[in-house]
Amino acid sequence: MAKGILFCLCFGSHILVASQSVFFSKFELGLNAGLFIYQGDLTPSQFGSYKTLKPGLSFFFNRIISPVFSLRTNLALGGLKGDDAKYLKPEYRQQRNFNFNSPAFEVSELLVADIFKNNMARRSSGLSPYLFAGLGFSVLNIKRDWSHFNAEFFSSEASTISGLAADQQYALPALIPVVPIGIGFRYPISSRISVNAETSYRVTFTDYLDGFSKAANDSRRDSYMTHTVGLIYQFKNNSWLKCPVF
């Protein structure tokens, strides 16, 4: 008994901190809703096509591995859309009139870093910013449309005409690798539930996300991003901390 008491006293500070997280679990589930934003040749804005937003949902399973890091398996379902006709300037966009749309189903594995090291003390953490990055792939079904292309307007630009002919012969990708990079914030509202908000940019390795390249800007890769808000649920841990008995 004396040895047991001594052991508890020696590790008292550890027990005190751990007892505050008696319900702590390393596993979390999250559900987010938000917007998918296409970035590429069919929008003049470097921040993406906010005139053709598409809704999206994401679901993730997160495993905490340290006070800073966790591993997240992320599933996202949304859509991508771009349309030259949404922009009055430059003038050629109204004449080119390219557009596309595609559903997007994304699977990715992310490394998440809690900047304030709050992974092990979530209930009393307050607002926690975090960064994340990883690898994944996106399943697409790209539908492109050039039916309103004004060939007469581009008659002096042979590269656009020949580029469109080349694009029409190109087999569009159905599966592309992506590199998600993002930032988020989370805030606990109960012992096991937090609210969060995220912005994530996807690096891609194709210029045919929108179905066009040679007839548009083949030196610029396409990409997309998401803005989401949601809830994170942390599972209850059924194991209770106890002092050892000798």
For residues 30 and 23, what is the distance between their CA atoms, to the nearest angstrom?
18
Q: What is the pLDDT of residues 148-194, one digit of tens each?
A: 999 999 999 899 999 999 999 999 999 999 999 999 999 999 989 99
Structural domain count, the chain: 1
Q: Decide if 75 contacts 118 (C-beta within 8 A).
A: no
Q: Where in 11-127 does DSSP place strands (E)? A: 27-39, 54-64, 69-83, 99-114
Instruction: Convert 61-91 to b/e letters by CB count within 10 Å (16 or more is b).
Output: ebebeeebebebebebebbbbbbbebbeeee
Q: What is the pLDDT of residue 36?
A: 98
**Domain-embedded: residue 132:** yes
Q: What is the pLDDT of residue 121?
A: 84
Residue-range definition of the domain harbouring residue 84: 25-234
For residues 44 and 91, what is the distance between their CA atoms, to the nearest angstrom?
11
pTM here? 0.86
Residue spans of alpha helices (H) in 24-176? 92-96, 158-169
**Domain-embedded: residue 219:** yes
**Domain-embedded: residue 13:** no
Return the CATH number at 226: 2.40.160.20
C-alpha distance across the termini of the chain, in Å: 7
Beta bridge partner(s), residue 61:
29, 73
Show the tokens assigned to 213: 């390249």
Show the tokens assigned to 206: 């194709």
**Domain-embedded: residue 14:** no
Q: What is the pLDDT of residues 120-136, one digit of tens each?
A: 887 777 899 999 999 99
All residue ranges of the chain with pLDDT < 50 are 2, 5-22, 239-246
Amino acid at 40: G
**Domain-embedded: residue 10:** no
Q: What is the pLDDT of residue 23?
A: 52
**Domain-embedded: residue 41:** yes
**Domain-embedded: residue 70:** yes
**Domain-embedded: residue 91:** yes
